[in-house]
Amino acid sequence: MIDLKRNVTVPGLLEFKRAGIPIAMLTAYDASIARRIDQAGVDCVLVGDSLGNVIQGHSSTLPVTVDDVVYHTHAVARGLERALLVADLPFMSYHDPSTAMESAASLMRAGAGMVKLEGGAPVINIVTSLVGQGIPVCAHLGLTPQHVHRFGGYRVQGREQSTADSLVKDALALQAAGAGLLVVECIPKDLADRVTRALHIPVIGIGAGADVDGQVLVSYDMLGISSARAPKFVRDFLSDGRGVLQALEAYVDAVRQRDFPSPAESYE
């Protein structure tokens, strides 16, 4: 039996998957929200490069720098006691092993327990290098926002058989390279289920249906305070008059019970 009150570690995430307990993950960018998220029982907190959208007001994550993520990682780390802190490697901060190592080291020194990067085959050597130096890595496949211009916008990925097969192949390769966690974003729920069953590491979904090992949302989205129009996979947990802490607790409960996301909040 997993003690849900003990500190969450990278090896501990595997225990969640083996026990069939869904992992609850949210973004945070400051100590105050991080403290409330931690109190609510969220397992992983992501200092996402989504800060470019929700904090800085940009139309994409591309302007975010390593220094930006380091600043917010320092702040979030001060608000956490139990949750595992994951920090994003921003655009062009991991294009070669040397640069990736320097960027990741800055985030780890700021308080991260794991770093996240986007992409499949082109970043396998980066994952191998980071893991070889003791840096835990969370991979990210599907809709990868740093590649938004290549995709031609924020579109669902993996609907064609060839792209679905390629995504599964990349997921297995990332796992073999040492990634300890995988985020899949905006992919059909059946593909997310296929990936989850194929991997022994946990798979966290965002817009990927309920048949994964956990869920992640941008905290500003699930609290209904983002200025942009929310995607279909977002649920506003603050809309029924709850307080912030109660909304965060409701999110954790919905993830644990697999009540979120619903079929209407998923992609076919």
Report d(CA 123, CA 137) in Å as an integer.
11
By CB neighbour count within 10 A (0-12 exposed, 13-18 middle, 19+ buried), where does 221 fall?
Answer: buried
81 catalytic residue (yes or no): no
Report d(CA 70, CA 118) in Å as an integer.
18
Q: Are 22 and 255 in contact (CB under 8 A)?
A: yes
Q: How far is CA 97 from the centre of its chain?
A: 22
Q: Are 43 and 16 in contact (CB under 8 A)?
A: yes
Report d(CA 38, CA 149) in Å as an integer.
34
Closest CA to 156 of 207, 222, 228, 218: 207
Q: How many CB atoms lie within 10 A of CB 79?
A: 20
Pick the catalytic residue from 185, 249, 265, 268: 185
Helix, strand, coil shares, percent, the chain, to 5: 45, 15, 45
Closest CA to 97 of 88, 109, 89: 89
Report d(CA 139, CA 175) in Å as an integer.
9
Residues forming the active site:
185
